Chain A
Amino acid sequence: MSPKTSRRGWGCHDGVFEVTLWNALLVASIICVALKTLGYLIPQRFLEAPRPARIADLLTVALLSALVAVQTLGDGQAIVLDARIPAILVAAGLLLLRAPFLVVVVAAALTAGLLRLWGWAA
């Protein structure tokens, strides 16, 4: 592995800190790009069989659902009940009413923002 040299002129942090943080974020970024690419390298035949196709579909559902849960309830490793819960309920209600995506997202943000502004929820 050949770490990138730091661009010392870029920041006011000391060199060691910057090199390490830069390396960390570049390594993480490159891995993420590689993972995206990997999906395109797996043969298409693989997805035509019912089992991998089914797993791929359900994987999306499971990941999105887990992300909803973690984004709504998680705060680092803590479970926090705050204004995000009424906000996500408003979003779910609007989705039931077939509201457009943007309306749902803005309504959720407004709900959480206003509840916090009024001091009704954390």
Chain B
Amino acid sequence: MTAEHPTEDAESRRAWRQGLSVALATSAYGVSFGALAVAAGLDIWQTCVISLVMFTGGSQFAFVGVIAAGGLPAAPAAIASASLLGVRNIAYGMRMSPVIGTGFWRRAAAAQFTIDESTAVSLAQTTRRARSLGFWVTGIAIYVGWNLSTLAGALLGDVLGDPRAYGLDAAAAAAFLALLWPRLRHRQAIAVGIAAAVVATMLTPSLMPGIPVLVAAGVAILVGWFNWLGAGDVPPDEPEDVAERVGLP
């Protein structure tokens, strides 16, 4: 799929296509958020406000999950897990900042659309224009789709029954894997990915939901700081569309 010298038009079409397909998939599992939130005891308004304002899937699922498990007494824990899980968006914002460019309103709007999917689609593009396009298309399309599907999920929650019956929990996992996949090209990234998965899994039974993922992020800080496994690991046949090689615009 990686042409040697793709034209700007082809790049833009690719950004549109990837953005919209990511948005479609992500919006689909917004239904499961809506249904799970209602099942956790939130009303339809509360469910919709979370998707409209918080708008970051991991944090939303974490918030609702903790409320479902512990009820209102768990509200501080729910706030903490949602917030801590949202910390990764700082890194995404840092990555997207040069792509978005200047202008207060432009940047303020971009901040709200800064999520896993919009960042991943954007960074998967090779030209500056396609990166910007990929970010906005994905972010806005998911914002619309995610909020509509949240409402649908909340309304249909009872009718739908268990979202697991539709494999929506597995769809969420697969979506994250598909976003992770293109990043696993370097030995260093693969090692960090495996270590982070192991750490998160092993810590899950002992820590509040949401925290194992954050502790796992410590693996990246550690490996990145000391550059373990990193030196000289740039094979000459590396594909052209690796973000690290092209560099930020």
A residues adjacent to B (C-beta < 8 A) = 7, 10-11, 13, 17, 20-33, 35-40, 42, 44, 46-47, 51, 53-74, 76-79, 83-84, 87-88, 91-92, 95, 98, 100-102, 104-114, 116-117
Contacts and interface: CB of A to CB of B under 8 A. Distances in A.
Contacts, number: 325
Interface of B: 1, 18, 21-22, 24-25, 28, 41-43, 45-46, 49-50, 53-56, 58-59, 63, 65, 67, 69, 72, 75-76, 78-79, 82-83, 86-98, 100, 107-108, 110-112, 114, 116, 119-120, 164-181, 183-184, 188-189, 192-201, 204-209, 212-213, 216-217, 219-221, 223-225, 227, 230, 243-244, 248
Contacts of B55: 32-33
B217 to A, nearest CB: 5
A57 B219 CA distance: 12
Contacts of A114: 167
A28 to B, nearest CB: 4
Nearest to B202: A79
A1 to B, nearest CB: 12
Given A32-B86, A59-B217, A61-B184, A102 B174 contact: no
A38 B59 CA distance: 16
Contact of A25 (B46, B208, B224): B46
Contacts of A98: 1
B167 A108 contact: yes
A26 B97 CA distance: 26
B178 A109 contact: no
Given A39-B94, A104-B174, A76 B69 contact: yes
B88 A63 contact: yes
A66 to B, nearest CB: 4
A63 B216 contact: yes
Contacts of A105: 25, 28, 171, 174-175, 178
A63 B92 CA distance: 11
A111 B27 CA distance: 19
Contact of A30 (B53, B177, B199): B53
B86 A39 contact: no
